[in-house]
Amino acid sequence: MGFLDKLRKKFANEQQDVESTETVENEVEPVEDTTTADKEVIEQEVVQTQSEEQQESVVPEIVQSDRSDANRYLSGLSKTKVSFTQKLKNLARGFKGVDSDFLEELMIVLLEADLGIDTAEKLIKQVEKRSDKEKATTMKEVNDILFEEMQTLYNSFEDAPFIENADGPTVILMVGVNGSGKTTTTAKLANMFKEDGKSVMVTAADTFRAGAVDQLKRWADRIGVDCVEGRAQADPASVIVDGARFAKEHNNDIMIADTAGRLQNKVNLMNELKKIHKVIDKEIPGQPAAVWLVIDATTGQNGISQAKEFMGATNVTGVILTKLDGSAKGGIVLAIRNMLGLPVKYVGLGEGVDDLRPFDIDTFLYGIMGDIDA
Ligand SMILES: Nc1nc2c(ncn2[C@@H]2O[C@H](COP(=O)(O)OP(=O)(O)OP(=O)(O)O)[C@@H](O)[C@H]2O)c(=O)[nH]1
């Protein structure tokens, strides 16, 4: 059985379990239904027509998603799936074998999905090598090799585990440029940990953007977690000290700190983040446990450059990729992994508070695979 068939089998079983527990109204066709995908694309476009100002001030109502995990994940990837599989199907129509013309066209498809040159070249080389060795003569076999190589590439890195602090609050530091979705993701994470039974608080240290502190405070109120707020233009490190002290006094399990996301010059960024690390470690030894970099999937390769800046300034331990629902370029997941070596910890699949999912490479590949062999 080929790689894609194995993936299908794995998820078909999970899908059946999920579907049997769903109500009819909540049904979302997972992969094949392009009508659902189109509808979601239209919905996304409506969201995207809001002005930036409107978007900034909006804290969406908390509506707990009644969709199953797997379905929400899969529908969030529908833009990438539709675009990627369509291009592979077009390629299949003129397929005569794995020759240089074919590999060139496949390279273009990968670049258009935002894998970036380096990552795309790596995959192409593997496809060429394996197709020759395994005597692949059909597009189905080539697709199989391609997707399996994507999985291998993602799994070829070792990740440091996220270890919670046994002696006090575990601190998670959120970094990333303005507008990447840092504040919303901070709220989503707080909600997720709270649902897992943890005592969570958030620290609003993004004192640079007027409104960011207020935005997080309103999220926190709705979720029902405490929020330590920084005053406008206050030193983020001093706000974080207040947050850490609050978390200790209130025996919180988790503190998530939203930081200012300006990409100033590298030295300033480095100094600011160094100072933040130092004050956290002083208040809660050994913390932060994680520094998660929030990247907007729609910014494509630009996101990789931003990530490099942050990685040069601090010890980033993972990436949260937001707005994957609004992007047809989900290949950025593999570019992040290949170029930065960082794990994608979570993906943002919408603006709602529970539109955050732990990233899993198999679910991701299944989600973008669609009806690729049809
Ligand atoms: N569709 C979609 N929208 C998202 C997602 N994550 C965040 N957003 C939206 O992106 C916009 C910016 O999000 P914020 O959380 O304010 O971004 P930020 O990085 O904190 O921005 P600053 O506060 O300026 O630093 C908001 O309209 C969010 O609702 C996601 O996963 N999917």
Q: What is the pLDDT of residue 54?
A: 41
Binding site: residue ranges?
Answer: 176-183, 258-262, 322-325
Q: What is the pLDDT of residue 10?
A: 84
In the reported structure, the alpha carbon of residue 228 is separated from the centroid of ligand 1 by a whole-number distance in angstroms of 20
SS3 112: helix
pTM score, whole prediction: 0.85
Q: Which of 295, 351, 353, 359 to mutate to test the pocket of ligand 1 (most atoms within 8 A of CB)?
A: 351
For residue 372, the Cα-to-chain-centroid distance in whole angstroms is 23
Q: What is the pLDDT of residue 17?
A: 58
Distance CA(198)–CA(309), nearest Å, equals 32
SS3 256: strand
Half-sphere exposure of 346 (CA within 13 A, CB side): 23
Q: What is the pLDDT of residue 61?
A: 56
State both tokens at 32. Answer: 């094949």
Q: Which of 43, 173, 185, 322 to mutate to test the pocket of ligand 1 (most atoms within 8 A of CB)?
A: 322
In the reported structure, the alpha carbon of residue 350 is separated from the centroid of ligand 1 by a whole-number distance in angstroms of 9
Q: What is the pLDDT of residue 11?
A: 81
Whether 183 lines ligand 1, by a CB cut-off of 6 Å, is: yes
Q: Interface pTM (ipTM) of the complex?
A: 0.95
Q: Give, using CA atoms, the residue closest to atom 6 of ligand 1.
A: 181
Whether 181 lines ligand 1, by a CB cut-off of 6 Å, is: yes
* Atom of ligand 1 minimally distant from the CA of 215: 16
Q: Which of 184, 191, 217 to mutate to test the pocket of ligand 1 (most atoms within 8 A of CB)?
A: 184
Q: What is the pLDDT of residue 25?
A: 39
Distance CA(259)–CA(191), nearest Å, equals 18
Whether 236 lines ligand 1, by a CB cut-off of 6 Å, is: no
Give the C-alpha distances (Å, rounded to integers) separating 99 from 92, 122, 125, 131, 342. 13, 17, 12, 10, 33
Give the C-alpha distances (Å, rounded to integers) separating 167 from 88, 185, 188, 254, 278. 51, 26, 25, 12, 18
Q: What is the pLDDT of residue 120?
A: 96
Q: Give, using CA atoms, the residue closest to atom 23 of ligand 1.
A: 212
Q: Give, using CA atoms, the residue closest to atom 24 of ligand 1.
A: 178
In the reported structure, the alpha carbon of residue 59 is separated from the centroid of ligand 1 by a whole-number distance in angstroms of 10
> Running along the chain, 374 residues long, what does each successive block of 10 average in pLDDT?
86 64 40 39 36 46 52 83 91 92 95 94 97 94 95 93 94 92 95 96 88 92 94 88 97 94 71 91 96 93 89 92 91 94 94 91 89 75
Distance CA(119)–CA(335), nearest Å, equals 6
State both tokens at 155. Answer: 């799994």
